[in-house]
């Protein structure tokens, strides 16, 4: 399977994001879709497909290694402050194991309320040595402005099954999350079979290829 690997253009704000002590984001994770939940909600909700690479990336820029720890998406319009309690309009993921994560892209399928979902938080851990570790975790004020995320968003309507890309760490200049994608119809058809194997209820013929839109954490691409 082929993933996009292009030259990066990274916003200065991300390069100067606060370096904080390692630690997880507060998760408000929606549950992955099941055959039962999908059958009950497929007409009123959207199904979002994406992959995440949770394993360490070694020799990541000037760091010994870097690792994606968390991603948080929220349905817009956004508030300046995060929700105080769990919400059905947020989608949050955390690394399943910082010590022994899967060494491959992990496919996910989430049922969400229709709307536009913005990336509002992320955490990337790094180490410069055995004793010098930390994480890049920008504040909400650095990401959210005027009800939108500076980092990008994806859209899904009721009844849609949408593939929005593959997430991993990029090491150009600084370790940050990057939205990769599967190229070409043949490779994408193979990729859909991986979703089908994990989520047999997904009708792969109905999947829409609509990438997370961003000018900061990924390149544009149309499936042809």
Q: Mind listing the pLDDT tens digit of every residue in the chain (224 residues)?
A: 434 433 343 343 443 333 343 333 433 446 789 999 999 999 999 999 999 999 999 999 888 999 999 999 999 989 877 665 445 578 988 888 777 787 889 999 999 999 999 999 999 999 877 667 888 899 999 999 999 999 999 999 999 999 999 999 999 878 999 999 999 999 999 999 999 999 999 999 999 999 999 999 999 999 98
For 172, the domain range is: 12-209
**Whether 55 contacts 102, CB under 8 Å:** yes
**Tokens in use for 127?**
């180490």
Task: Flag whether 34 is in a domain.
Answer: yes
Q: Is residue 220 part of a domain?
A: no
218 belongs to a structural domain: no
Domain-located, residue 197: yes
Distance of CA 151 to the CA centre of its chain: 11
The verdict on residue 215 lying in a domain is no
CB atoms within 10 A of CB 177: 24
Q: Answer yes or no: is 180 within a domain.
A: yes
In a domain, 3, yes or no: no
What is the per-residue pLDDT for 25? 42
Q: How far apart are CA 121 and CA 74, in angstroms?
A: 9
Structural contact between residues 167 and 68, judged by C-beta atoms closer than 8 angstroms: yes
Provide the b/e sequence for 78-113 (b: ≥16 CB within 10 Å): beeebeeeeeebbbbbbbeeeeebeeebbbbbbbbb
Give the pLDDT confidence score for residue 9 in this predicted structure: 37
Distance CA 69, CA 80 (A): 23
Q: How many domains does the chain have?
A: 1
| 151 part of a folded domain | yes
């Amino acid at each position: 399977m082929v993933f996009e690997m292009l030259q990066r253009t990274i916003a200065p704000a991300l390069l100067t994001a606060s370096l904080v002590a390692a630690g997880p984001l507060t998760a408000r994770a929606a549950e992955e879709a099941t055959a039962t939940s999908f059958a009950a909600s497929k007409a009123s909700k959207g199904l979002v497909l994406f992959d995440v690479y949770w394993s360490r990336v070694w020799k990541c820029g000037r760091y010994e290694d870097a690792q994606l720890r968390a991603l948080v998406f929220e349905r817009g319009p956004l508030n300046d402050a995060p929700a105080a309690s769990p919400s059905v309009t947020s989608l949050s993921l955390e690394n399943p194991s910082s010590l022994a994560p899967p060494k491959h892209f992990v496919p996910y399928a989430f049922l969400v309320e229709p709307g536009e979902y913005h990336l509002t938080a992320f955490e990337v851990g790094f180490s410069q040595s055995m004793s010098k570790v930390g994480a890049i975790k920008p504040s909400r004020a650095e990401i959210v402005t005027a009800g939108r995320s500076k980092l990008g968003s994806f859209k899904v309507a009721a009844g849609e099954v949408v593939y929005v890309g593959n997430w991993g760490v990029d090491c150009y200049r600084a370790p940050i999350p990057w939205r990769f994608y599967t190229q070409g119809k043949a490779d994408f058809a193979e990729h859909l079979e991986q979703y089908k194997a994990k989520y047999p209820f997904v009708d792969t013929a109905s999947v829409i290829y609509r990438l997370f839109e961003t000018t900061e954490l990924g390149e544009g691409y149309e499936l042809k």
